[in-house]
Amino acid sequence: MPVDILDHDLQLIYESAVNVAKQAGQVIKEAFLKEKNVDTKDCFADLVTETDKAVEKLVHEHIVSKFPSHRFIGEETVSETGAKCELTDEPTWILDPVDGTANFVHTVPEVAFSLGITINKKVVIGVVYIPVKDEMFTARAGQGAFLNGKKLQVNNTKDLKTALVITEAGSSRDATSLDIKMKNIHKVVTNCAGIRSYGSAAYNLCLVASGRGDVYYEYGVHVWDFCAGALIAEEAGAAVIDPAGGEVNLFYRRILAACTSDLAKELSSHLIHLDLESD
Amino acid sequence: MPVDILDHDLQLIYESAVNVAKQAGQVIKEAFLKEKNVDTKDCFADLVTETDKAVEKLVHEHIVSKFPSHRFIGEETVSETGAKCELTDEPTWILDPVDGTANFVHTVPEVAFSLGITINKKVVIGVVYIPVKDEMFTARAGQGAFLNGKKLQVNNTKDLKTALVITEAGSSRDATSLDIKMKNIHKVVTNCAGIRSYGSAAYNLCLVASGRGDVYYEYGVHVWDFCAGALIAEEAGAAVIDPAGGEVNLFYRRILAACTSDLAKELSSHLIHLDLESD
């Protein structure tokens, strides 16, 4: 049964999310310049550090103490248990403690704390914090997107030829998906103004939201990588779709966010639509 | 006949180069957030703006007034005349007024002013300034590399598997070279920790110098894109080579700068070595 949440409560949840993002950012910033203990997950390019785990623990404990009825989906918890994500109508905090772990390990500043909150299976709050740059991106459904309190607005680029496209090869080294990703990049670069890769899905979506890129797409991402950034991009005016067209499915592991729907459609028409095991 | 330059004079030239970089940075910063008039050069992805031209004029006038005997190679002057670059033993200022013009046009902060100075055909001074971030990268041959006065040191990564690789698809849309570039990226991504693209060769080299990336390679760049950054990377401890191995030829339009020579060799062995028309 759909959950009813009062505006007052939503405001509390939002403030609490921003608060915990700041705390998490402090932990990330303190660890940023230090030596890291790195483990690998699915393959040699899929990394996890103590900081990923410490931040996830911090957020989980925050939820348990402040909103004990709320549910939680965290990247590291899911990675450890291997469980499928299950979304209910209850408020659910979806967390990537450190999005861009390879950047974090290499002391590259584009490292994001990404937290989306769903109610009735829709993302209603998105918080992406880049602690090293002190950039706090926030959005609430229907209320716009902000960077450090300043309202964001996407670009107006309609034509792929003049568009700056952001995408990633990602951390999977599965030969079949890499092959399709490379074919896509080849096709896209042939038809666009330039391709950029910054190594964090959450940050990439915030770049589109801020007009520092026209469109971002990626196959192979997870719900915790993109759910917060997708709301931020959408609230800044982006067309956020499934790369094959139609509505985004949070668990289908693919996303396309373009500053205009014309651009979204044109880019979509160039892509081979990789199907991956859902979250 | 080789030119003899006193240390005293070199110091003057260096200070003058940093000075003009700051002036140019002011021009770039003022234009950064404004609407730009954009023209295309070789193809739809190869851009030039009034700011590129204004900065090139500023630097050229600076040289004419301060060092009238010095020679000058500027990206926009070469693009307009189509002349081949000719390097003599005389002090020569090699300029890319705005490296990362597509970034500049899209209000993406990774925009570099790049100025290298050769004497006896060797780069002896390199200045790369990122005005929007106020990052001034400098190097003098044999005297180390610096970011805003702080000494730079590359990483110690030896193994491609753990390396963050920076490269670019570039602004050429020639099908044959794009095909080879994509094959290279495919091969590299399969074997490395991740690929990043920031859209400016000069900046990419400074990232390797700063340890914010382990290796950068690119085919299709020009002498003005990389000569300053290559010295900065080298002076920070990087192995800077021709991607096929051996010494860099300033006009061969390709470069590889790695934090260790082991990494340089391993990456080189994966690449198809694109031959392009020299500068």
Predicted pLDDT at B242: 98
Point out which residues pair with A240 in neighbouring strands.
A257
Instruction: Give the amino acid at B27.
Output: V
Q: Which residue of B has its CA nearest to A200?
A: B196
Give DSSP secondary structure letters for A225-251.
HHHHHHHHHHHTT-EEE-TTSSPPPTT
- Give me the mean pLDDT over the B159-185 stretch: 95
- Give me the mean pLDDT over the A187-191 stretch: 97
Judge whether residue B3 has pLDDT over 90: no
Token readout for A38 is 């790195």
Mutant choice from B111, B189, B219, B259 vs A, greatest count of A C-beta within 10 A: B189
Range in A31-35, A255-259, B19-23, B55-59 with the lowest mean pLDDT: A31-35
Judge whether residue B8 has pLDDT over 80: no
Query: Do B226 and B202 contact (CB within 8 A), yes or no?
Result: yes
Q: How far apart are CA B199 and CA B163, in angstroms?
A: 19
Kindly report the average pLDDT of chain A as a whole number. 95
Q: Please calculate the CA angle A100-A214-B171 and round it to the nearest 5 degrees.
A: 90
Kindly report the average pLDDT of chain B as a whole number. 95
Query: Do A197 and A168 contact (CB within 8 A), yes or no?
Result: yes
Residue A261's H or E segment, with its range, is helix A261-270
At residue A125, φ and ψ (nearest 5 deg) are -135, 135
Q: How far apart are CA A203 and CA A111, in angstroms?
A: 8
Q: How far apart are CA A210 and CA B250, in angstroms?
A: 37
Which residues make Cβ contacts (< 8 Å) with residue B153, sequence separation at least 6?
B211, B236, B237
- Give me the mean pLDDT over the B64-68 stretch: 96
Confidence at A30, pLDDT banded by 50, 70, 90: very high
State whether residue B37 sits within 8 Å of chain A by CB. Answer: no
Residue whose C-alpha is closest to residue A99's, from A152, A160, A143, A56: A56
Contact residues, chain B, for A44 at CB < 8 Å: 161-162, 193
Give DSSP secondary structure letters for chain B.
-PPP--HHHHHHHHHHHHHHHHHHHHHHHHHHTS---EEESSSTT-EEEHHHHHHHHHHHHHHHHH-TT-EEEEHHHHHHH-PPP---SS-EEEEEEEE-HHHHHTT-S--EEEEEEEETTEEEEEEEEEGGGTEEEEEETTS-EEETTEEP-------GGG-EEE----S---HHHHHHHHHHHHHHHHHSSEEEB-S-HHHHHHHHHTTSSSEEEEES--HHHHHHHHHHHHHTT-EEE-TTSSPPPTTSSEEEEESSHHHHHHHHHH---------
- Give me the mean pLDDT over the B205-212 stretch: 98
- Give me the mean pLDDT over the A74-102 stretch: 90
Q: How far apart are CA A36 and CA A27, in angstroms?
A: 13
Query: Do A151 and A190 contact (CB within 8 A), yes or no?
Result: no
Test B178 with A171 for CB contact under 8 angstroms: no
Judge whether residue B201 has pLDDT over 90: yes
Query: Do A97 and A76 contact (CB within 8 A), yes or no?
Result: yes
Mutant choice from A34, A44, A108, A214 vs B, greatest count of B C-beta within 10 A: A108
Q: How far apart are CA A138 and CA A126, in angstroms?
A: 6
Predicted pLDDT at A255: 98
Considering only CB atoms, A45 lies closest to which of B173, B193, B199, namely B193
pTM for the model stands at 0.96
State whether residue A193 sits within 8 Å of chain B by CB. Answer: yes
Considering only CB atoms, A164 lies closest to which of B106, B155, B185, namely B106
